[in-house]
Amino acid sequence: MIAEAIVSRLNLDQGSLAGGAVTERHLADLKGCFADERAYRAMLARDNPLLYRVSSLEPAHGEDQLHYGLGVLMPGKVGREYFLTKGHLHAWRPAAEVYVGLRGDGFMLLEDEASGESRLLPLRANTVVYVPGHTAHRTINTGREPLVYLGIYPAAAGHDYGALATRNFRKVLIEQDGQPVLLERSAVS
């Protein structure tokens, strides 16, 4: 049997994926993610802006199937730290993922779960990032426009936010003299 949602339209201007289930994350949903707690609380006291939206399609279920989602991450900063996604490990740790950059300018921050080693990789149009299994991943928008990307992952991957909620990523991407600079979290918080 051929799954029904086998073709879907992307609209990069609207950042939409037809038929996708939409999840929105606002600033209040990212408590504990930004290094500068004071800047976070001050911003939240003024406003609770939308940081990102993911439209996910799950055409079929089962361990040999794929799911995918269109992410739209807004531009902006909390203090000097660029807007970012929560970041996660896959609940099924071996699950890898492919990110396809479609629009905007940013990075993916990867962190190997076992060694804690970090990699910062560009994510923009015409760029594909392969996220290996057992690797925490977070998207960061360093540009002035929304960062739009597609993530394709095993249907069985799942999300594990809990492991990072307590310790967070070791590295932080901040703006310094107009440029993104990757620093140790301990150096900025």
Tokens of 8: 């879907």
Q: Of the ranges 1-9, 81-89, 108-116, 169-177, which one interacts with ligand F6R (CB under 6 A)?
A: 81-89
Least distance (Å) from ligand F6R to the CB of residue 112? 16
In terms of DSSP bridges, do strands 147-154 and 77-78 run parallel, antiparallel, or are they unpaired? Answer: unpaired
The residue among 108 and 174 lying less far from ligand F6R, judged by its C-beta, is 108
Q: Is 20 in the site for ligand F6R (CB under 6 A)?
A: no
The residue among 36 and 97 lying less far from Zn ion, judged by its C-beta, is 97
Place of tokens 């051929």: 2
The residue among 51 and 174 lying less far from ligand F6R, judged by its C-beta, is 51
Q: Is 88 in the site for ligand F6R (CB under 6 A)?
A: yes
Q: What phi and psi, each to the nearest 5 degrees, are found at residue 30?
A: -110, 35
The residue among 69 and 146 lying less far from ligand F6R, judged by its C-beta, is 69
Instruction: Select the residue whose beta carbon is closest to Zn ion and give its number.
Output: 97
Task: Mark residues 60-99: x for contact with Zn ion by CB under 5 A, - for none.
Answer: -------------------------------------x--
Task: Please state, as a whole number, how many other Cβ atoms lie within 10 Å of the Cβ of residue 123.
Answer: 27
Residues 92-151 that bind ligand F6R (CB under 6 A): 97, 137, 139, 151
The alpha carbon torsion through 11, 96, 163, 116 (nearest 10 deg) reads -120
> What is the Cα–Cα distance from 151 to 156, expressed in whole angstroms?
14
Q: Which does 87 bind (CB under 5 to 8 A by kind): Zn ion, ligand F6R, none?
A: ligand F6R
- How much of the chain is in helix, strand and coil states, percent to nearest 5? 15, 45, 40
Residues 159-178 that bind ligand F6R (CB under 6 A): 159
Least distance (Å) from ligand F6R to the CB of residue 100? 11
Q: CA dist 73 to 58, 64, 86, 106, Å? A: 21, 29, 11, 9
Q: CA dist 78 to 17, 33, 142, Å? A: 28, 10, 12
User: Which of 83, 82, 86, 90 is closest to 152 using CA atoms?
Assistant: 90
Residues that bind ligand F6R (CB under 6 A): 25, 54, 69, 71, 85-88, 97, 137, 139, 151, 153, 157, 159
